[in-house]
């Protein structure tokens, strides 16, 4: 077994499908963890941390001591949550057979890539890394940090069951990847709580929530049959599609509001460059029911992802432009404007 850096890069950017146990066994332990935890998705956590870091840097309060601990801790915590999610759903019989989760990527237990003991070992090791990072941040910052850590731990442990089963999974994600990660991350970095920073985090997490809504719409019938009452199951398909589009529109509204409030400079309006993709791809897909089969020309290897594929692609575009706008905002405030004072 050798270190496969190419697989590290691939698994960090896209979902990797592996059905061959021999191919799996030939991978190094990091590659296995990245694939099993769907690190292409957990990248959204890194985005939240970077947003918090950029806002702290813009306010001249950034600290290199806490930022890497925060980012690594939250990233592995998200990965641990995904492992526990797969374990819980497998143990409850949810992922048996041709369930949606087992179609778009390897479910380590269902596909026989890992035993229960191996998966729990992965989760325990990375969970301990996340806890160690949290303890380090508590010792470094104190204050609200223990409460933020406890809140995060509760969501990691109870998201899959029961929260996802009672229509709260989407709400929890909206809170975690915005107010908790960005607002809480900013607090850990700066020792200051800011509701405007929380709102800035919400502008990002609305898109992450929209992508999750798309995933849950894609598997609405399967979830309903298994009595998993996600928000789309409770709302129904058509209202859920409308709500998802509304979440994306609200992203733009929050950014524009923060620009008007002068929390952001107009440079953050660079996110508007994601509008063509929104109107050209996302809106047409969400206006109609999901087809029974992939249409001609649909990218190979993406099906059965439909709404979530469009939502995730949009989230990456919006998130990337949002980060670009924040970087430009930092450069403007710290490097350019001082030249004219």
Q: Average of pLDDT values for 45-64?
A: 92
Question: What is the band of 138 on the pLDDT scale with cuts at 50, 70, 90?
Answer: very high
Phi/psi at 14 (nearest 5 deg)?
-145, 155
Output the pLDDT for position 99.
58
Residue 235 CB neighbour total at 10 angstroms: 19
Residues 6+ apart with CB under 8 A from 53: 62, 67, 71, 185, 189
Output the pLDDT for position 139.
94
Output the pLDDT for position 304.
79
**Domain residues of the chain, as ranges?**
5-340
Q: Is there a contact between 240 and 189 (Cβ–Cβ < 8 Å)?
A: no
Give CA torsion, residues 301, 302, 304, 308, to 10 deg.
160
For 94, the 3-state DSSP assignment is coil
Is the pTM of the predicted complex or chain greater than 0.85? yes
**What is the pLDDT of the chain when averaged over all its residues?**
87
Tell me how far apart the alpha carbons of residues 190 and 328 are, in angstroms, rounded to a whole number: 21
Output the pLDDT for position 335.
80
The pLDDT > 90 percentage for the chain reads 45
Say which range, 36-40, 167-171, 242-246, 331-335, has the weakest mean pLDDT. 36-40
For 248, the 3-state DSSP assignment is helix
Residue-wise pLDDT tens digits, 78-114? 888 888 888 887 887 776 665 566 566 677 887 788 8
Q: 157 versus 137: which is more confidently predicted?
A: 137
Residues 6+ apart with CB under 8 A from 183: 52, 193, 194, 195, 197, 198, 201
Output the pLDDT for position 96.
67
Instruction: Give me 307's structure tokens.
Output: 């709404």
Instruction: Give me 203's structure tokens.
Output: 């502008």
Output the pLDDT for position 109.
80
Name the CA radius of gyration of the chain, rounded. Answer: 20
List strand residue ranges (DSSP E) for 15-86, in order. none
Say which range, 10-19, 92-101, 199-208, 303-312, has the weakest mean pLDDT. 92-101
From the number of C-beta atoms within 10 Å of its C-beta (0-12, 13-18, 19+), residue 337 rates as exposed
Pick the CATH number of 5-340 from 1.10.357, 2.40.50, 1.10.600, 1.10.3470: 1.10.600
**How many CA atoms does the CB half-sphere of 224 hold within 13 Å?**
12
Of 161, 323, 131, nearest in space to 226 by CA: 161
């Amino acid at each position: 077994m050798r270190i496969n850096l190419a697989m590290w890069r691939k698994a960090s950017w896209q979902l990797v499908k592996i059905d061959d146990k021999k191919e799996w066994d030939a991978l190094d332990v990091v590659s296995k963890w990245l694939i099993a935890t769907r690190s292409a998705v957990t990248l959204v956590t890194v985005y939240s941390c970077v947003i918090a870091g950029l806002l702290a840097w813009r306010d001249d309060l950034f600290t290199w001591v806490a930022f890497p601990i925060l980012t690594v801790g939250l990233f592995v915590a998200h990965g641990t949550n995904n492992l526990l999610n797969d374990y819980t759903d497998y143990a409850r019989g949810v992922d048996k057979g041709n369930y949606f989760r087992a179609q778009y990527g390897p479910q380590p237990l269902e596909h026989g890539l890992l035993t229960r003991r191996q998966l729990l070992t992965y989760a325990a090791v990375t969970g301990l890394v996340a806890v160690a990072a949290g303890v380090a941040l508590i010792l470094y910052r104190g204050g609200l940090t223990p409460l933020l850590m406890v809140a995060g731990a509760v969501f990691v442990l109870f998201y899959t069951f029961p929260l996802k089963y009672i229509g709260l999974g989407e709400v929890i994600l909206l809170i975690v990847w915005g107010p908790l990660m960005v607002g809480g991350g900013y607090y850990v970095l700066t020792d200051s709580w800011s509701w405007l920073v929380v709102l800035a985090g919400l502008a990002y997490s609305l898109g992450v929530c929209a992508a999750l809504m798309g995933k849950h719409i894609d598997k609405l019938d399967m979830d309903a049959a298994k009595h998993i009452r996600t928000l789309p199951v409770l709302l129904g398909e058509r209202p859920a599609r409308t709500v998802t589009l509304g979440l994306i529109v609200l992203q733009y509204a929050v950014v524009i509001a923060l620009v008007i409030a002068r929390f952001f400079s107009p440079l953050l309006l660079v996110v508007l460059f994601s509008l063509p993709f929104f109107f050209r791809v996302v809106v047409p897909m969400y206006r109609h029911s999901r087809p029974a089969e992939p249409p001609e020309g649909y990218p190979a290897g993406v099906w059965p992802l439909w709404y979530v594929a469009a939502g995730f692609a949009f989230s990456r575009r919006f998130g990337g432009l949002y980060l670009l706008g924040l970087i430009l905002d930092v450069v403007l405030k710290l490097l350019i404007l001082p030249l004219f004072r």
